[in-house]
Amino acid sequence: MDSEWLTWKGSKYEYKYTLGLVKSLDLSCNYMTGAIPEEIMNLVGLIALNLSRNNFSGPITPKIGIQLQSFNASVYEGNPGLCGLPLPKNCPGEEPAQAPSTMKGKIPEDEFINLGFHVSLSLGFIVDFWGVCGSLVLSQSWRHAYFKFLGDMKDRINVTAAINLAKLKQRFNN
């Protein structure tokens, strides 16, 4: 079980079951000092992190994840003591920092959207569309029930709108 403790305004709170749900964390402008807290690396679902305008120092740990390393250096700005990728400032004893040559000038492609995704999306649309429309075309009783349902919904919406409009007019007249 993953859990973390948060002390806020003198009270301690334990976060136990919701840590995997944390997707975004903004710690900017909090006057934090020292190294970036290692506990942040335990948030496995984290996809957005803003640590700007603090006073962090030391190297940016590689444990922070490839998706967070690929962010623009602006998420770390205002922390003059930080060093290492993706920042242009090298840590002591480190080789000059360079972005991978394959990423220069390119927008990173989303690995989720590939040929298999497009094929499954197309097949899913075709099967779902014809599953609904085909059943309406082939079954007269379903077709009549479906269009009766749509007609009833239209009538219900019109009656509700007319009643609310009458109530609104009556309120403004009083």
Q: Tokens representing 157?
A: 């919406």
Taking the C-alpha atoms of residue 115 and residue 31, their distance in angstroms, rounded to an integer, is: 46
Q: Is the pTM of this model over 0.75?
A: no
pLDDT in tens, 113-160: 778 888 999 999 999 999 999 999 999 999 999 999 999 999 999 999
Kindly report the backbone phi and psi dihedral angles of residue 117, in degrees, each rounded to the nearest multiple of 5, phi listed first. Answer: -65, -45
pLDDT of residue 150: 95
Q: What is the pLDDT of residues 12-33, one digit of tens each?
A: 877 777 766 777 778 888 888 8
Residue 142 to residue 134: CA distance in whole angstroms: 11
Could you give the CA distance from residue 62 to residue 39 in angstroms, rounded to a whole number? Answer: 14
pLDDT in tens, 72-83: 677 777 788 887
In whole numbers, what is the pLDDT of the chain averaged over residues?
79
